Amino acid sequence: MNRLIAIAALGAGLAAAPALAQDESGAPGGFFIGALAGYEGIDVKSSDGSISADASSAVYGVNAGFDLGLGNAFVGIEGELSTSDGTTRFPGSFAGAREGLETNGQYYIGARAGVALTPGIAAYGKIGYTALDTRAFTDSGSLAELEENADGLRYGGGLQLQLPGALEARIEYRRSQYNDLADAGQGDATTNQVVAGIGLRF
């Protein structure tokens, strides 16, 4: 939560900077910072892949990055810090002795590239590194909680809309795959997210 507050404060400070004009092609360029919120579904599989458990929750966070305009197209880098409150309950036959997995902070850094569909509307794809903080637990407290940070790959795409002034909006789908939860008694975890966001372009 302190990281979220820090990034939000950075965004407030940058708000005083003049916005860079978007070129006539509609491809975005320059620095951006924003906030996002939406839906997350998480699916966790046992180490042998025979049993799975899933849950859904809200996800929300902040992002920032830089896009380089290339005429009708653009490429960029982006970072994101988000959190969700999904809690997956395992069947009794699930691998491992713990009874559930809770997701917490998620961190992402990656690349994106896109093309202007019309002046002010662009489509893009993205791919990059992501990490997920998890907490495996038992309802009875018979085993100590096990906190773990899992590395993974995120990819997805979306649409971006230029709004009046320096404002912009986006809607995005992304999928993240985590493969190193073995210490918590699970095999793989996958998250699917659909988010909407609003931001400022500088």
**For 57-69, how does the pLDDT look when each residue is reduced to its tens digit (9 = 90+)?**
899 999 999 999 9
Which is nearest to 42 in space by CA: 53, 32, 51, 27?
A: 53
Q: What is the pTM of this model?
A: 0.77
Confidence grade of residue 105 (pLDDT, cut at 50, 70, 90): confident
Distance CA(113)–CA(68), nearest Å, equals: 9
132-158 pLDDT tens trace: 887 766 665 544 455 567 889 999 999
Residue 47 has pLDDT above 70, yes or no: no
Distance CA(126)–CA(195), nearest Å, equals: 14
19 φ/ψ angles, rounded to the nearest 5 degrees: -75, 140
Residue 25 has pLDDT above 60, yes or no: no
Mean pLDDT across the chain, nearest whole number? 79
- H helical segments located in the chain: 2-14
Report the range of poorest mean pLDDT among 3-17, 33-47, 160-174: 3-17
